Structure 1
Amino acid sequence: MASSSWPWHFVSVSPEQAQQRRDLLDLRGYYAQISVLFAIVIIRLYSGHEPAQKTPSRKKQKSWWDSPPFAGWMETRRQYAVTLIWFTWLLALSMWKTGDDYLHLTRALGHVSLSQLPFQTLMSPVYYISVSKPASPSVVSILTSISQPMLSPYHRLFGRIVLSPLLVGHAALYLAFFAQSDHPDFSSLLVKRLQDDDVQCGILAISVVVSVLLFVRPVGNPYWLRLWTSTSIRSRREAFYTVHLSLVAGLCLVAYYHVAQAQTFVLQALAAFVVNAGCCWVCAR
């Protein structure tokens, strides 16, 4: 059993209660995705009413909010703040109506995080590998009137600060549950579950998530520059984009076979990729 100081515990539920929890998980996914649409509408309305600014005669000094929190960082304080606010909202949504049910919270973290895959895909700069047109707008860029160079940092931070922590938290809580649970034929439930396909897919998915976090595009780092300066800009873009896209595709594939509830979100992400690529192709012509 979980520690008594921890607000969530391992509880047994009836079939009716299990179905109620399943319905709540689905509802969380709907709310998480609807909140994305709501945010896009708000941003669009705000940008539509924002007065046009005249081009300044000299370069305006960046504000504290629009500067990186540390020297050498790419994203600004404003971008970190917005992303952290979204993470807080999704974390609160994951905790909503979980009561003291440890496994319900665990499943909610994974369900809510995967519900954001289509949105993350629609923010991605499809034509990143093009040196001449790297700023071709994504679907979210078109809908919000935010230029792709301003949107791409949110795409990066969304993966690092929102999706990854929720998925890693989901996996860590499940593994902790397995390790603390007994099994009649094994030393623990963890030993048994490590032999099951769904858990193996889950562990592989988290390994891919960590790989995506570690494989970042090289900018301004002397170590990375020594490895990359011998190649052209286009070659570096192609290498990064190919590996990054392959890892994300691998994540979607193992998530699809990990649990049935993830399949809808994976298919939505695939459809979002096709739509995003189509829009970028039209806009780049």
Structure 2
Amino acid sequence: MLGYEFVTLTDEQKAARRHLLDLYGNIGQWSILVVLILLQLAFFIRWAIFRTVRAERPRSPHPNKVMDFGTRAWYWRLEDQITRFRWWANQSLREGWFTKGECVLGLVWTLWLLFLSVHRTGNDYLHLTKRFGMVAASQLPLQYILAMRSAYSPIQALTRLSYERVIAIHELLGKILTVFFGLHAMFYLNFFIQAGVLSKRIREVDVITGLIGFIMFSTMSTTALSFIRHWNYRVFYTTHILLAIILVDVLIFHVSHIRNYVFEMLAIFVLLQIIRQAKTRQLPGSIALIPGTNLVQVTVPLSSDKDVKKFKPGQHVHLSRPPLGPPTLNWANAFAQRYRTNPFTIASIPAKDKQLLLVARTLAGNTTHLAAIAQSQRTTTDGTPPSIPLTIEGPYGACLPDFRTFDAVLLVAGGVGATFAVPLFRSLTEGGGGPDDAAAPVVLRTRIQLVWAVRRLAETRWAFPASSPSKQQDDAPPPSSSSSRNPPPSPGSDNHGVDIFVTRGGGGGDGAEEVDRRLLADEDEDIELAEMSAVARGEEEGEEGEGYEEKLHRHTVSRGRPDLAAVVDDAFSVSTGAVAVLVCGPSGMVRELRRHVGVWVGRGRAVFWHAEAFGF
């Protein structure tokens, strides 16, 4: 087979083969350190260069002009090329796939592992077979580290990547290792068949555990596919957690040569559980339906300063599935509280509001369960949701830059994607992004704009609480209800405003339905959970109700779909400096917005781009 043969080795040759197997396994494991060291060196060089020059990035003399870096210093030309490469690398090959940068990284790492698997194997077929398994096993500790859902993640700290990007690399490495383990199993089965010992070896422990381990690894890789996560997040998450635990036990009994890697996996897994337990707490909270919508909100008061300081806008937490009735002490409820969790964005400013607010659309799965709890409580109480114990793990995420360094910040949200955008907008305009700045705005000179597309106006009920300045401006004019795609500037401050677009109901007509098809067709990806059909809805009420006039002061409300091209052009045209663009919404909205922002990246503008999404 490809020049490899079944060779008979002496004891000395077998010892030499074992030495090479262990050597290349160790090289495979520790080679990631070389990558991280080179990355830190690159970060240091960049820091040293810009610390020395002490100069701001060159600005275009006119916002709409293309930046000319040809006459600039070499480091600015290099910085421009790096910016363009990052933009290219962050583009997905197609919807639901990895980004181009992740694919390049995966290809390079696959070729490196492939080299380690074949180098110095000679013509020994069994050496090749064993090497594939050893090299793949050497990556398992790294795979478990990449899965670390914590601010203490060393990979996240050393690479400066967001939690979502690190998890994407975790998924990519899992697929690579599935291929290598598959080749290892296939080569061994071919050897057993050719040698006529399949019926004998298939009953032995090392072969049985090897096949079970490969099936488990393949199952984890398969259930991590995006369409399965979107179909049923619970299947993905539960399968992943359970098999990750069992896989360690299976591999311990496979062969002794990989036990060092297995024990490292076990140590990392135990550390992960300790960190998760440290970040898990049970707090009293309430669950309620938002009238006129199919949204459910979870409110958790934060009474202590210690709790307030832990949570910040832009972060998310994992909420365990609460029991529908009085909790009972049994293994099923314990398992549900530990592993039947879903991610929810923190939709409030904890330092300012003194509470955690979680909002999600009611879809199949845990959100339906939350809606059922809210419905049962509403029918058995006087209208005020009772307090129940809620298990929360987190916070996670929020790897964001200092927005004071940008000339403009553009926040775009679709549906409940505003649970990410609204708290950021409020923290930048009202303050409260941290525990010590709840009174004063964080950003003064930066232009901050929030564009929010919703199906119904009622879906904005949760966004701006009574304590926010939005409700305190009694002398502000009422919001407009223009049907124009380009609404007038916000009647509030000159450098910040909110534009809300209602895409359905209230006379939207065929145009609103077209909006729903184009802009909100992917509502199942609409943030919190990757689950499909909507099955529970709150009670329907009118679009405008009591308190809406007051609530929407200093905001502009329009019918129809936002003109994202005009929104982007406006954000970049008001300044010549760096612009931060953050989006959280359906994939169609994200793709369209990215396309328009890409025009300005091509003109040499400094752009920070962040598309918030959940899938793990």
TM-score interval, smaller chain: 0.7 to 0.9
Which consecutive segments of 4 or more residues in structure 1 shift more than 6 A?
Answer: none
**How many Å separate the matches in 2 of 1:63 and 1:147?**
15
Task: Give structure 2 stretches of 5+ with no counterpart.
Answer: 51-55, 64-82, 280-309, 311-393, 396-616
1:21 is the counterpart of 2:45: no
1:137 shift after superposition: 5.3
Map of 2:313 onto structure 1: none
1:42-76 per-position Cα deviation (integer Å, ceiling 9, x unaligned): 1222234345898x99xx99833321112x12420
Question: Which letter does structure 2 place at the counterpart of 1:63?
Answer: W
Question: 1:109 offset after TM fit, Å?
Answer: 0.5
Partner amino acid for 1:192?
K
Between the aligned partners of 1:23 and 1:245, the Cα distance in structure 2 is 34
Given the alignment of the two structures, is residue 32 of structure 1 paired with residue 47 of structure 2, yes or no? Answer: no
Q: How does 1:65-214 map to 2 (within 5 A)?
A: 65-70=89-94, 72-126=95-149, 136=151, 138-161=153-176, 163-181=177-195, 188-214=196-222
Taking the aligned partners of 1:124 and 1:192, their CA distance within structure 2 comes to 38
Distance 1:93 1:217, change over 3 A: closer
Q: Displacement of 1:40 after TM fit?
A: 1.3
Please tell me whether the aligned partners of residues 47 and 144 of structure 1 are also in contact (alpha carbons under 8 angstroms). no
Q: What is the CA deviation profile of residues 223-271 of structure 1, one whole-angstrom value per residue up to 9, with x for unaligned ones? A: 865x54xxxxxxx4x6533320211222222121111112110101111
Please report the TM-score for the alignment, with normalisation by the length of structure 2: 0.38
2:250 maps to what in 1? Answer: 254
Question: In the aligned structure 2, how far is the partner of 1:150 from the partner of 1:215?
Answer: 19
1:267 is aligned to 2:263 = yes
Query: Could you say which structure has the larger radius of gyration?
Result: 2
Give me the whole-angstrom Cα distance separating, in 2, the residues matched to 1:111 and 1:199.
Answer: 15
8 A Cα contact 2:229 2:235, kept in partner? no
Q: The residue matched to 1:146 in structure 2 has which SS? A: coil
Distance 1:137 1:217 in 2: 26
The structure with more strand, counted as a fraction of residues: 2
Kept in 1: contact 2:171–2:221 (CA 8 A) = no
Does structure 1 retain, via aligned residues, the 8 Å contact 2:223–2:235?
no
Comparing both chains, which one has the higher relative contact order based on Cα–Cα distances under 8 Å and sequence gaps of 6 or more?
Answer: 1
Counterpart residue identity of residue 176, structure 1: N
* Secondary structure in 1 matching 2:87: coil
Contact 1:126 1:277 in 2 (8 A): no
Q: How many residues align?
A: 250
Which segments of 5 or more consecutive residues in structure 1 lack a partner in the other structure?
A: 128-135, 182-187, 229-235
C-alpha distance in 1, partners of 2:229/2:186? Answer: 31
Instruction: Give the CA deviation at 1:272.
Output: 2.1
| TM-superposed deviation, 1:94 | 1.1
Provide the rounded CA distance (Å) in 2 between the counterparts of 1:50 and 1:160. 33
> How large is the RMSD of aligned CA atoms in angstroms?
2.8
Deviation at 1:96, TM superposition (A): 1.2
Show the 5 A alignment for 1:42-81. 42-50=38-46, 63-70=87-94, 72-81=95-104
CA distance in 1, matches of 2:184, 2:235: 31
1:191-240, CA deviations, whole angstroms, 9 ceiling, x for partnerless residues?
1111111111111111112111211265xx4x865x54xxxxxxx4x653
1:41 aligns with 2:37: yes
**Counterpart contact for 1:32–1:116, Cα < 8 Å:** yes
Report the alpha carbon displacement of residue 7 of structure 1 after superposing the two structures with TM.
1.5
Q: Distance in 2 between matches of 1:217 and 1:164?
A: 13
Q: Which amino acid aligns with 2:128?
A: L
Deviation, structure 1 residue 277: 5.2
Distance of 2:155 and 2:106 partners within structure 1: 15
Change in Cα spacing, 1:63 to 1:147, as seen in structure 2 (3 Å) is: closer
Mapped to 2, the partners of 1:112 and 1:45 lie a distance apart of: 27
